[in-house]
Structure 1
Amino acid sequence: MLPALTGYDPAALEAYLAAEGQPAFRAGQILDWIWKKKAASVEAMSNLPAALREKLSTSFRLHALDHTHTQGSGDTTRKFLFKLHDGRYVESVLIPANPALYGERSDRRTLCVSSQVGCAYGCKFCASGLAGFSRNLEAAEIAGQVLMAERLSGERVDNLVFMGMGEPLANLDNLLAAISIITSPWGLHLGARHLTISTSGLVPQIRRLAEHPQQIRLAISLHGATDEVRGQIMPVNKKWGTAELFDALDYWNSKKKQHLTLEYILIEGVNDHLEQARILAGHARRLKAKVNLIPYNTVEGLDWVRPSEDQCRAFRDILKNSGVAATLRLEKGHDIDAACGQLRLKQETEEGIIEAPVKRK
């Protein structure tokens, strides 16, 4: 399989061009066509010599993934399905104008980006891991989702959230390489403060990321305020319990300026008890964290259901009355299989790439 040009930084591209007897400045032209002008083909790079365009076309793929399908919803949320070079699929979700999403302005567009094909961590509310883990995405495949979303939508993506398919911190090296492309002036030039990494709680990687110089935001998939409740939802809690997790978050706070976000999917009869809200409020106050409450998004193959809106609001109000910044996200895209991994799961099952997952509880 030919390498993708979207995986090359200026130094790597200059080295290739030097070996081909081409001047270094051509690297800047190529990267400008890819990331700024969003060229549909190498042939469209009109200021390159014809011989170089021909050489690039035979030596590289332009993009690391191919768009196969878009689902759009009534609220203009769009889910993109992308096919990879090995025939597997990943998905990204473009979420417009959502004032409750991490406290950002309501006129912003947020893209939810995948980092793996499938997931090994088996969070009990999520479709991403229903068919298991296949592989990590390469940097070009991660950054390429953003490029493709902008090309397909014709809109600038203002914020990225790495909380699509997969556990981002389990693919940290490739993730950081992709972030370098996304934030670089020669790439998409999106500020690191507009990037949020969401993790199920991989403690060593949280500590490593805390040392990273860029001011990336961090969101924790908590979903339970105690080990007893969180352990029913998050298998990772057996390896790193809440005490170890909160200790790592204290370390993060000692290194970073941005406030943490605690993500909490509300599931009826599992973690929506108001006592959990009171305990969660204590954790959030100590960590100076915001809380993002998300009513459960129905996933085919799982039995859980979302609580009533009244119960969700009561849970939120306990947090707010305790002095915690809390938002209740009545999520967009509920009509387009917007829960992580659902569209990809449906497509790969139909093609016989994977077997239909066994219903789990």
Structure 2
Amino acid sequence: MTLADEAAQQSAPAPIAVFPASRPSLVGLTRPALAEALRAIDTPDREIRMRVAQLWHWIYFHGVREFDAMLNVSKVMRQKLAEHYSLTRPEVMEEQVSTDGTRKWLIRMPPVDRLEASRSLGAEVECVYIPEADRGTLCVSSQVGCTLNCTFCHTGTQRLVRNLSTQEIVAQLIVARERLGDFPGLTPPDNGLIPFGEGVRAVSNIVFMGMGEPLYNFENVRDAVDVLSDGEGLSLSKRRITVSTSGVVPEIERLGAEAGAALAISLHAVRDDLRDRLVPLNKKYPIKDLLQACRDYPGVSNARRITFEYVMLKGVNDSPAEARELVRLLKGIPAKINLIPFNPWPGAPYECSSWETIEKFSDIVFNAGYASPVRTPRGRDILAACGQLKSETEKLRARARLAAELE
């Protein structure tokens, strides 16, 4: 990561609240933010706690779209809320469904400032839903674009636009659950690929593996995890929420202590010289420091293992010697290794390792005592697989710069 990229990352704070329409949306807000919204419309302090609980239940458990649906809220309060706020969601610009049932949504967030609003520009992110027999996993984004420039990742070719707010991160799950009929009273799409049944929810797992580096947007990611895992609302187990980082070492301990989410490490190499090329952040936080942070991760145990992601690149990082070195490096860390066949994208500089090579690599890791599943590529036909996400926001941003230059 260059100094310019790091400066851009540091200068791209997310707004505390988004959706700056005539009536701001309450969807995606934390409990304290909902309390502030109620105080702003002169709700008596003695009622704040009760009103927050009511809103929380209707927004996050029932997924309602209108205040009039909040049956245990007085008519007067419903009218007051409707005068000042809305329950709108971000706009789904495009939905693609893969032959394997994977769904990708291009989601446009409302503009966050007057400049964006005047040009009808809003940040765009991609969000992916992966259905399996016993679970449904939603891959969410934490930034618009990325600063890390990992050379195997399509998102890394898009410059950072800004961080997403807590509200925008949570709203991705609201949009997905609505599209999947995963709120009470909604009907799921009739394609036979979405897991439903008694005790089975369409979205049971969240992975912060979409666009962006989550630990460069730590506070908003941490607060989003709190909203997602709140037992009176969306109610996802923190054991089923995984935050993936390319190795922002100073924030790893904080993630475990303050968020309690499962940790995944985007590793991809066993030597610093190679990882410096694949994951340039390694120049700042080398493998030794990264693995020590993993050993010190709060709550890590055999019951809560760290996932190490390793993309398989033909002739680059896929030799038996590298498999053995990976085992040596991870000694003493409760871990599992996800081997990811490289997912090609237009202009990609790498090829995927052969299946025979991947199997040999996996066998070495497995025989050393580590779970080493090979991640089945999902959604390749709609560019929704790991490392393929990239929105159109970069083009919009370029048009905005051009328009500003012409004024």
Structure 1-normalised TM-score? 0.88
The RMSD of aligned alpha carbons is: 2.2
Name the counterpart of 2:123: 88
Q: Of 321, 331, 337, which residue of structure 2 is paired with 1:291? A: 337
2:327 is the counterpart of 1:281 = yes
Q: 1:197 to 1:10 in 2, by over 3 A?
A: closer
Q: Tell me the residue number matched to 1:75.
A: 100
Q: Which residue of 2 aligns with 1:304?
A: 350
- 1:110-259 equivalence runs, <5 A: 110-155=137-182, 156=201, 157-212=203-258, 215-252=260-297, 255-257=299-301, 258-259=304-305
Deviates more, 1:118-127 or 1:284-293: 284-293
Is the 1:114–1:164 Cα contact (8 Å) retained in structure 2? yes
- Give how far 1:344 is off: 4.2
Contact kept? 2:344, 2:388, Cα under 8 Å: no
Aligned amino acid, residue 17 of structure 1: L
- Paired with 1:65 and 1:307, the residues of 2 have a C-alpha distance of 38
Q: Which moved more, 1:2-11 or 1:80-89?
A: 2-11
Task: Provide the residue aligned with 2:85 in structure 1.
Answer: 60
The alpha carbon displacement at 1:116 in A equals: 0.4
User: Is 1:17 aligned with 2:29?
Assistant: no
Q: How far apart are 1:297 and its partner, in Å?
A: 0.6
Check the 8 A contact 2:314/2:351 in 1, yes or no. yes
**Which 10-residue stretch deviates more, 60-69 or 9-18?**
9-18
Once the two structures are TM-superposed, the CA of residue 74 in structure 1 deviates from its matched residue by 1.2
Q: Compute the displacement of 1:208 (Å).
A: 2.0
Check conservation: 1:90, 1:341, Cα contact below 8 A.
Answer: no
CA shift at 1:51, angstroms? Answer: 4.5
State the alpha-carbon separation in 2 of the partners of residues 298 and 330 from structure 1: 14
Match in the other structure for 1:317? 363
CA distance in 2, matches of 1:124, 1:272: 16
In structure 2, distance between residues paired with 1:304 and 1:61: 46
SS in 2 for 1:6: coil
The alpha carbon displacement at 1:330 in A equals 2.0
Letter in 1 for 2:274: V
**Residues 1:272 and 2:318 aligned together:** yes
Match of residue 359 from structure 1 = none
1:107 is aligned to 134
Q: Which residue of 2 aligns with 1:5?
A: 26
Instruction: For residue 73 of structure 1, report the CA deviation from its aligned partner.
Output: 0.9
Q: Which moved more, 1:3-12 or 1:137-146?
A: 3-12
Inter-partner Cα distance in structure 2 for 1:7 and 1:38: 11
| 8 Å contact from structure 1 (residues 116, 137) kept in 2 | yes
Describe the SS at the equivalent of 1:286. coil
Q: What CA distance in whole angstroms lies between the structure 2 residues aligned with 1:12 and 1:354?
A: 33
How far apart, in 1, do the equivalents of 2:343 and 2:31 lie? Answer: 42
Percent of residue pairs identical: 38
Call closer, same or farther: CA 1:9–1:343 in 2, change over 3 Å.
Answer: closer
Q: Do the aligned partners of 1:91 and 1:114 also contact (CA within 8 Å) in 2?
A: yes
Q: Secondary structure at the match of 1:312?
A: helix
Q: Which runs of 5+ in 2 are unaligned?
A: 1-19, 112-121, 183-200, 400-407
Tell me the CA shift for residue 82 of structure 1.
0.7
> Which one-letter code corresponds to 1:45 in the other structure?
M
4+ runs deviating over 4 angstroms: 340-344
